[in-house]
Every structure is written in structure tokens, then in C-alpha cells.
Chains A and B, each alone.
Chain A
């Protein structure tokens, strides 16, 4: 089964929940995907041994100036303004290109071929029996989604994805836009992590809208639950959203986090909490 961990707001504890859940259910054969490719942090806690690195590229146009007659068709059809045609020259802006292939397909002169441009890397490895895959977007690159697609593709090709007994844990990026959708898509269940503040509530409501649109079942984890107000609780109650787990604010947990140490490694009592959360999720899923 696939469980994604998301939140509208950043810094609520997505990675904390994902990592500690993964470490608490070793018998399930866990696959861990860090899909927050702009700022991947799970490896700080899981310290995986990376065994394979894959470069991820998107195909961008290359113009054969011999064949090109400067008709301007490519620039006209490009939806991303990645091409500009001057009287005697074609300019390509590779950073704007989404790699759709339209220009090379439609160039009347057949003057456009494609060349790969790296936008990031996907790393595959293991950590304590967990199969680990993460993506890292190169700095200066704008598009995280192709990288997320490759992470999931690599995961799909490996055995654990298809084994119904095993669990694929996905650490998603913050927000509500395309990269979040790409990360969550196909999940059996999504854990929304929030905090009991007006920011947490505002962004939780946005994240709930995303999941309704994607038709993925979900529940809420309230992090730093002892610090804040009751509005997140009331919202969940009114909207019949299950609260899966509460993690109280604890300076010790904050310190462990700052050092890159998973909670369950030092505070074993939390293993049972995360295992119970997993059981609760199983109960919530349609059989």
C-alpha cells in the first residue's frame, strides 16, 4: 500500500512523521520515497547508503541551423515561450522548456532534434532494511515534477511497490500545486500533518481540498499539539476527519530533530504510537 505524508504549510513535521512511521513498521518491508525534491531532508534522518544515482533530464530542442528556414512555427506553437525566432537565428531558452516535444514534432523542415538537459538526480539506496529513493532538484531549476515522476517510476519497478503487504511511504513537498499532486497521486491514504495554529489550520483546509479533488482518503496528525489552540481539533471534528496521532511539543523532540535523529530511535515509547497509527489507517481503508 502507498501512504503519502503531506501538508499545506511547510515545517509542520511531514518528514518527522514519514521517517518515524517508516522506522516503526520494519516487518512491513518499507519503501521510502522522498518526493520533496526542492528540499529533500529525509536522508538526514535515515542516513541511507546510496547505491545508485540516476541523472534526470528533460529533452530540450536543438536547432539545425542548416535546415532551419526561420519560419517561426516552433516559437508559435511553444506554450512556454522557450523559443524565439529572429530573421536569421533561433534562440532557445532551455530553462523555460518543459520537454513536451512539440517543436521537434511539428517543425516543417525537420530542423529540430532534442538533447537532454539534466534538471536533477534520483538516488536509490537502503537504510536499516528500508528501500530508500530520493530526488534532488538542481539549484536554479524550476520544475520539480519530472523528478517526482522518475522517483515513482523507479519505485514502481522495484518489488516492494507491488507487494500488497509492504508499505510505500511518500514524503511530499509542501503546498497545493502540481508537485504535491504528482507526489500524492495514486496513494491509498494520505496523512496530513498540521500544527494547532491559525497558519496550520488555514493550510490544512487547503490540503483537504487537494485530497478531495484527488479522491484520496486522509487523516490528520497534529504536531506540537500541546502548543496552540483548539481550532484545528474543532475543524476536524466538524468535518469528520480522523485525528490519527498527536505529537505534543517537547523540547527533547525538537532537539533530536535538530540533530537529525528520529524520535523512535531515542524515545522508544513512540514506536507503539506510530504502530497504532498504522493500524488505525488500515481500519480506515476500504477492504
Chain B
């Protein structure tokens, strides 16, 4: 089984549009949406949920007002500004409060409270879905609003998807990645065979692409670049080609800006199935190139 991760650094360059189309082209694939913060792949693949799993992760500190003696020890030790002192009108300490959003779940307050007034409570921080689409099984998730541990949920999504791919003997695992270069992206990267960086010829797109390429290089993963909306600024498209050439990275495909993409989004379908023309052809070519990478590898 080969794992392909689609990332971009910058948001909105076309990761999900491309992932959905590759999903439609790859026969025998399992699909995973690792953008657990703002998942969108389901809007194009319309998964039917077969199983839901609760994602319990981390524990937030909770204070028992009845036991708290207002000593302020937790207040001075918390490094995440999660513990706040509410004052009376005369300035004296009224009550200690823990902000669950700021709590980093480190447990320092829990271990150091002299009267044991702080407990750690389990939290349901998201849901994981195992679904079926017309293109194959799909694993996706929804992180609770303002929750932490997106990296852990991403790791769980990938693990489930890998298990399904192995159990069902699927050849591909196609993963829609999150934007950025932080914790969920790092979690998405582990164990993948190919990173497809989707960029656009804007200065922001180029800057963000370079950072995400650096990240993939940091983890030693084979990386290819795909330039979306390549006709928005041809000079920048050339710059991307030069950067990639210097780094020894292949530019594996291009798409021009197209209203067809917007229309396919609105209809909720992969653009490769909506487009009758060049857009579909370019994506089919891309998929053939990806297949060829691993065929070559298989022979050697």
C-alpha cells in the first residue's frame, strides 16, 4: 500500500479539489481527511458513515471550589495563563478559576495543589468517522471547537485508514492534509510515500510552499509539486519551476484557473468528473505520473 499526502502550507490552493479527483481516479484506494480542524473532503465525496468512534484525549484541570483554599500556588506555577484569580471589590482574592480553553493539560496544578482541590477530567475532544464512498472507504474526523490535540486525532485518522487499507488489500491511501506546517501537518507526514505539494503562483503561495517543502525534506519524504491556477501569474509560475529545479524537486503537473472548479465545488463533485475538457485531462495525466512513480519503484 502506498500513501500519498496532499499538502500546501498555504490554505485554499486546491488540496481538497485535487484529493477528491485523485480519489475518483485511483481504483482501490482508501481516503483520509487529515484536516480535522476544518474538514471539507466529505463535501465532494459524500461519505455514508458506517461507524463513529469517540476521540477522548487529554484531560483538563478542573477545580473544586469547596476544597480550594485560595493559596494561589497553581496560579504561580501555571505557565499557560490558564489559571485566573477573580478578585473581590476590595482587591482580595475571591476565587481561583481555570480556563479550559487555555489549559494545556500539563497537570502541574493537579500535582502541586496542597489540598488536592484540582482534578483532571477526561474530555471528549472529537469524533472519528469510518465511512463508505463510491470511490472507496473513507476515514475522517471532527475535532471539537477550540480543542487541542489535533495532531493526535490526525494520527488516529491515519492509523484507522491504514488498518482498513491493509485489511481490504487496497493499493492506495490518499490523504488530504491540513494547511500550515505545525503539529497536525507533522502528524500527517509520518510514514507517507509521496508528498504532493499543491501551490499557486502567488508570492504567498511560493513562500508557504518553500516552508512546507523544507518540512517534508526534514522528514525525508519524496516530494513533488503541483502548480494550481498556473496562469494567474506566469512569472511566478516560472519562479516556482526554478525553485523546484534547484531543490531537485519535480513539478509534476499544472492546472490553469478555471470556473469549472468552482462549479464542481458548488455541485459537490470531484472536478475530474465534472470537467469535460483540459482540467480533467491534466488531472488524469497527473494520476498516471503518480502511478508510474510506484511502478518504476516496483520493478527496480
Asked whether, in the complex, the Cβ of A137 is within 8 Å of the Cβ of B181, the reply is yes
Contact of B108 among A12, A105, A206 (CB under 8 A): A105
Contact of A44 among B143, B184, B204 (CB under 8 A): B204
By beta carbon, the residue of chain B nearest A249 is B262
Minimum CB–CB distance for B98 against chain A, Å: 14
Contact of B224 with A by CB under 8 A: no
Asked whether, in the complex, the Cβ of A39 is within 8 Å of the Cβ of B181, the reply is yes
Asked whether, in the complex, the Cβ of A143 is within 8 Å of the Cβ of B111, the reply is no
| Partner-binding segment picked from B6-14, B271-279, B290-298 | B6-14
| Partner-binding segment picked from A20-28, A64-72, A169-177, A265-273 | A169-177
Measured in the bound complex, the distance between the Cα atoms of B78 and A102 in whole Å is 9
Asked whether, in the complex, the Cβ of B10 is within 8 Å of the Cβ of A259, the reply is no
| Partner-binding segment picked from A3-11, A126-134, A235-243 | A3-11
A11, A181, A229: most-surrounded residue (chain B CB, <10 A): A11
Asked whether, in the complex, the Cβ of B202 is within 8 Å of the Cβ of A79, the reply is no
Measured in the bound complex, the distance between the Cα atoms of B109 and A100 in whole Å is 10
Asked whether, in the complex, the Cβ of A210 is within 8 Å of the Cβ of B146, the reply is yes
By beta carbon, the residue of chain A nearest B42 is A202
| Partner-binding segment picked from B83-91, B166-174, B210-218, B246-254 | B210-218
Contact of A258 among B105, B180, B233, B265 (CB under 8 A): B233
Minimum CB–CB distance for B262 against chain A, Å: 6
Minimum CB–CB distance for B75 against chain A, Å: 14
Asked whether, in the complex, the Cβ of A202 is within 8 Å of the Cβ of B40, the reply is yes
Minimum CB–CB distance for B16 against chain A, Å: 7
From 73 to 126 in chain B, residues with beta carbon under 8 angstroms from any chain A beta carbon are: 77, 79-81, 101, 104-108, 111-112
A116 contact set on B, CB distance < 8 A: none
B207 contact set on A, CB distance < 8 A: 39, 41, 44
Asked whether, in the complex, the Cβ of B43 is within 8 Å of the Cβ of A199, the reply is yes
A12, A41, A213: most-surrounded residue (chain B CB, <10 A): A41
Closest 7 CB pairs of A and B: A10-B11, A11-B12, A100-B106, A38-B180, A175-B37, A258-B233, A142-B183
Give me 26 A-to-B residue pairs in the complex whose CB atoms sit less than 8 angstroms apart, sorted by A's number: A9-B38, A11-B11, A11-B12, A12-B12, A15-B204, A38-B211, A41-B203, A101-B77, A137-B182, A174-B38, A174-B179, A175-B38, A177-B37, A198-B265, A198-B268, A199-B43, A202-B40, A202-B43, A206-B38, A209-B145, A227-B262, A254-B257, A258-B202, A258-B232, A259-B202, A259-B233
